[in-house]
Structure 1
Amino acid sequence: MRVLHVISEMGAGGAEALVAGMARTGPEFGWQTAVASAGGHRADALRRHGVPTFTVPAPHRKAAGVLRATAATRSAIKDFRPEVVLAHNVSASMVARLALLPRRVPLLTVFHGVADADYAGAARILRRTSRAVVTVAEATAARLRAAGLTPDPVVIPNAVFPQEPRVDRATVRAALGAPSEVPVALCLARLEPQKRHDVLLEAWKRVGGGAELWLAGDGSLRRSLERNAAGLPGVRFLGNRPDVPDLLAAADVTVLTSDWEGMPVAVLESLAAGRPVVATEVDGVGEALAGGGGLVVPRRNPEAAAEALRLFLFDAGKRAVEGAAGQASVSRAHNPCVLMRSYDELLREWEGRR
């Protein structure tokens, strides 16, 4: 089965991690996979792995951008000749639908989540573009149903595709100039409004000294966040990093203070690495932590986030207990083999309906 993934970019996000994992694992399920995107370090890695990639400029919600993205996606479809197209999120779904006309190739959308106010618009677009919609969490499926999406979306929870650290904890810390004994909180998130790093920095003020906060990611808010963090103890802006397993090996706890999420892969990666998580109570986060592995805190509540961070940063015993619980939970509920079998069955069903 020839499967083309269409996604805005292939950088450091959770949807990108899912696409990369599925593309690498696809041959085990008889897939010939290609990825169409605006590029990024994950696309570079896939090319080195032998996966065909096509360059598609990001549409950026503008008519001219959509037309350019559609033309490039149409070219990718002509060259690769997919039997099924998987579009990741709403904008990719619109572009892929336009690019497929008048072909009868099935288009399925993987919905990773949008802000609360955007669900009605997302449901309206997905009804018109997609043969079927897959959501990565039960909570996002419920929101789409409430917004009027029919037929019912299929829920396939995100999974963690295993990646071992390339270097050990001490090497990573030495490279960053971080003392070996200082507890570290790691935030794996783009520096964009959704992720609410402003709330995290307010929480960090309340944590006090004696620990470090590593912000791995980049985005439009970097300069303003760097200004806000000036004078705060132990805050490091690491930029975009392709070495997430290495950073997880060097950290002690991870934190995510987002306003909204689908099923954040950063949380699943943290659990798989045995790192307890502090995250806001949004959609798939509660599902990811249902089996243990961390603490859920209210949105936009720096006091609660600070209290949870202090608990894990300065209590090694608590970290060990929650870390072990998270590893056990993620191996049961977010297994990549289960995810790939679920997608394989769904895609082959729709490929057979062409």
Structure 2
Amino acid sequence: MGVRVLHVISEMGTGGAEALVAGMAGAGERYGWESAVASGGGHRADALRVPHFEVPVARRRAGGVVRAAKATRTAYRAFRPDVVVAHNVGASAVARLAMAPLRRAPLMTVFHGVSATDHGSAVRVLRRTSDTVVAVASSTADRLRAAGLDEVVVIRNAVFPAPPRVDRSTVRSALGLSDDVPVALCLARMEPQKRHDVLLDAWAALGGRDAVLLLAGDGSLRPDLERRARDLGVADRVRFLGNRSDVADLLAAVDLTVLTSDWEGMPIAVLESLAAGVPVVATDVDGVAEALADGGGVVVPRGEPTAVADALRALLSNADTRAAVAVAGTEHDGHTLMKSYDELLRTMVDGGRR
């Protein structure tokens, strides 16, 4: 039996939630889904092979939420979904408001995570909007339960890896990098949560190495981070790549990835690295520690540039150490994730709301 699934998300640019939506929408046909996405657009929206409905980004303003809800209502009426899947709390509020005057489909919220201080307010919204809440990591679910949300389903995030289109040397040549230079990659939006400042401080602490740091992603902090790189004297060893749609190619070209976030759900950037066999240096926060529990990377304390620098130094200086660390996780595969979502969505459609 087919099921019509409308994903609602703020934007479809760079980010873990956006990558999950793109992967689920693309894989859904094999599970009998007819999928569509309602979002503010972005490079992942441009690459979708399912219908996309343009929705203005709400940006947590009352007027913005109302405009987003009106556009989502238009998408809802046009697509007529059997179930709506909202990604994160804001999208859940928009989707519920959009359906308010209509015959309402079941609403699932996929909770990708918020900062530690925001779990209480997130739970209050989720109680009023969602029929089912899915957490992308066990640690994320534990935080929601501690904040008072009793019913939480855990479906651990996964990736739908695409093979690189070109080889390591070709990618490096395009980036102006020689084959033998050590290269680290950070895949993250340039927003406060991701703590690029810690990463840049750590990169400066490496000293006069010839290693290069690639920063793939964009955001409100980019000008400040570019200034910080100059002030730290590492601007010649840091490349700001902006938003990229060639993550698989970049992963084929680098020696490790690094993520210095203050908090995470189950970060897709880490899972993409594991799937590609690229070792990870990442901060010891919720989903990161969970993703790396069986190997694949080095976990470091949050907010400590010296610890990050030490881990980077150990891996960048020794190929054998990198190979030993790069034990890819096997449980974060897209098929397992899709089977879990398919079962849950069909239960909701059939009237068994949780």
Q: Distance in 1 between matches of 2:148 and 2:224?
A: 38
Taking the aligned partners of 1:82 and 1:301, their CA distance within structure 2 comes to 46
Instruction: Report the Cα distance in structure 1 between the residues aligned to 2:15 and 2:104, rounded to whole angstroms.
Output: 30
Runs of 4+ in 1 over 4 A off after TM superposition: none
Measure, in 2, the Cα distance between the counterparts of 1:97 and 1:212.
Answer: 46
Residue of structure 2 in register with 1:346 after alignment: 344
- What one-letter code is carried by the residue in structure 2 that aligns with 1:191? M
Distance 1:207 1:216 in 2: 20
Query: Out of 289, 298, 302, which is 2:301 matched to?
Result: 298
5+ unaligned residues in a row in structure 2: which ranges?
none
Tell me the secondary structure at the aligned position of residue 122 of structure 2.
Answer: helix
1:3 aligned onto 2:5:
yes
Question: What 5-or-longer segments of structure 1 have no aligned partner?
Answer: none
Q: Calculate percent identity across the aligned residue pairs.
A: 67
User: What pairs up with 1:1-354 in 2 under 5 angstroms?
Assistant: 1-46=3-48, 49=49, 51-102=50-101, 103-150=103-150, 152-208=151-207, 209-230=209-230, 231-232=233-234, 233-323=236-326, 325=327, 327=328, 329=329, 331=330, 333-353=331-351
SS of 2:148 mapped into structure 1? coil
Instruction: Kindly state the Cα deviation for residue 81 of structure 1 after the two structures are TM-superposed.
Output: 0.1
| Corresponding letter in the other structure for 1:205 | A
Q: How many angstroms apart in 1 are the aligned matches of 2:83 and 2:277?
A: 36
* Counterpart-to-counterpart distance in 2, 1:162 and 1:214: 20
**CA offset at residue 304 of structure 1?**
0.5
Q: Secondary structure at the match of 2:108?
A: strand
- Residue 196 of structure 1 aligns with an amino acid whose one-letter code is R
Question: Which secondary structure does the structure 2 equivalent of 1:94 belong to?
Answer: helix
Give the RMSD, CA atoms, in angstroms. Answer: 0.9
After TM superposition, give the deviation of residue 101 of structure 1 in Å: 1.2
CA distance in 2: counterparts of 1:140 and 1:311, whole angstroms: 30
Displacement after TM superposition at 1:104 (Å): 2.6
CA deviation profile, 1:193-246 (whole Å, cap 9, x unmatched):
110000001101111212110000000011110011012151110000000000
Question: Are 2:161 and 2:248, in contact at CA under 8 Å, matched by a contact in 1?
Answer: no
- Tell me the alpha carbon deviations over residues 299-336 of structure 1, each in whole angstroms, 9 at most, x when there is no partner: 1000100001111111100111122x1x2x2x2x1111
Deviation digits for residues 227-277 of structure 1 (CA, Å, limit 9, x no counterpart): 110121511100000000000001100000000100000000001111100
- Could you say what secondary structure the match of 1:291 adopts? coil
> In 2, distance between residues paired with 1:98 and 1:284?
30
**What is the deviation of 1:338?**
0.7
For 2:320, the aligned partner's letter is G
Please state whether the residue corresponding to 2:337 is helix, strand or coil. helix
> Secondary structure of 2:47's partner?
helix
- Give the partner amino acid of 1:134: V
Secondary structure of the 1:223 match is helix
**Separation in structure 2 between the aligned mates of residue 124 and residue 283 of structure 1, nearest angstrom:** 21
CA distance in 2 between partners of 1:145 and 1:124 (Å): 12
SS, match of residue 236 in structure 1: strand
Q: Matched residue of 1:295: which SS?
A: strand
Deviation by residue 1:47-89 (Cα, 9 ceiling, x = unmatched): xx2x000000110011110111000000000000000000000
Deviations 1:137-166 (A, max 9, x none): 00110000000113x210000011020111
Partners of 2:333 and 2:165 in 1: CA distance? 22
Distance in structure 2 (CA, Å) of the matches to 1:241 and 1:25: 21
Q: Distance in 1 between matches of 2:87 and 2:278?
A: 28
- Find the aligned partners of 1:100 and 1:314 in 2 and give their Cα distance: 55
